[in-house]
Amino acid sequence: MSSFSIDQEIALLEETKTAIFLIREGLISLRSLKNDVDFAHLPILLLSNGFERLLKILIILDAFINGPEKPDFRGIKTHNIHDLLRRVIEIEKKWDYENRCPETKKDIAFLEKCDDLQKFVELLTNFVDKSGRYYNVDLLIGKKKDYSNPSELFILYLDDKTRQGISDTICHTITLIQQFARALCRMFIWGDLGQTGKDMAGIVGYFLDLQDSQLGLILPDQ
């Protein structure tokens, strides 16, 4: 088990605040799309950055608290959000997290089995890991692409749900994102992250305290 230096403790707090802020701003940006999804680049940029950071924080915290004296962080620099989520689920399994309480059981089932979440994580991964965020620059310089325009990716994600209308579909997606963020934030408190994790309650509280009745809403600052 490793201990944090003062600089590392400050970095942990700042990085977690940044992750939560980016996800919240991504939700606000997503809500503002309303009936126009032509500029989905901004919410995808914010959400992919926020979730990548939040997942990495959980992996790093577990390594510091439950890992060897000198944790190996060579694999943490990936941008593949799908792989980062897989690693976090492996950590939860190691903790026997799903048997802590009914909420953690539901969280694990959601992270592992929700098809819509897997599709959304794939959307974020295609954006950051396959350089979809630089689609237009690559197009301008003639670089061969194996990915699509971010807004097109988002429209494809929405495609099988738009029978309900874009507005309802975006509301559904906001609910999904909030559930994703809440499930990860609960790990700080209910996971095996010691007092360090519990001390993060105030920072992750916006998603940690979300009730099911509040999902799909954009809440004011708390």
Q: What is the pLDDT of residues 138-159, one digit of tens each?
A: 656 666 656 566 667 676 666 6
Domain membership of residue 169 as a residue range = 6-214
Does residue 104 lie in a domain region?
A: yes
pLDDT tens per residue, range 80-100? 999 999 999 999 999 999 999
220 is a domain residue = no
pLDDT level of residue 32 (50, 70, 90 thresholds): confident
- The count of structural domains within the chain is 1
Q: What is the dihedral of CA 184, 190, 195, 200, to 10 degrees?
A: 30
- Residue 132 resides in a domain: yes
| Cβ-defined contacts of 35-39 (< 8 Å, 24+) | 35/166, 35/167, 37/151, 37/154, 37/155, 37/158, 37/166, 38/151, 39/151
- Whether residue 154 contacts residue 39, with contact meaning beta carbons closer than 8 Å, is answered with no
Which helix (H) or strand (E) segment holds residue 196: the answer is helix 194-198
**Measured between alpha carbons, how far apart are the two ends of the chain, in Å?**
34
Mean pLDDT, rounded, for 162-178: 77
Whether 221 is covered by a domain: the verdict is no
The yes-or-no verdict on residue 222 having pLDDT over 50 is no
Which range has the worst mean pLDDT, 101-110, 159-168, 180-189? Answer: 159-168
Residue 6 confidence (pLDDT): 87
Average pLDDT for the chain: 84
Which carries the bigger pLDDT value, residue 15 or residue 72? 15
The answer as to whether 67 is a domain residue is: yes
The predicted structure's pLDDT at residue 113: 94
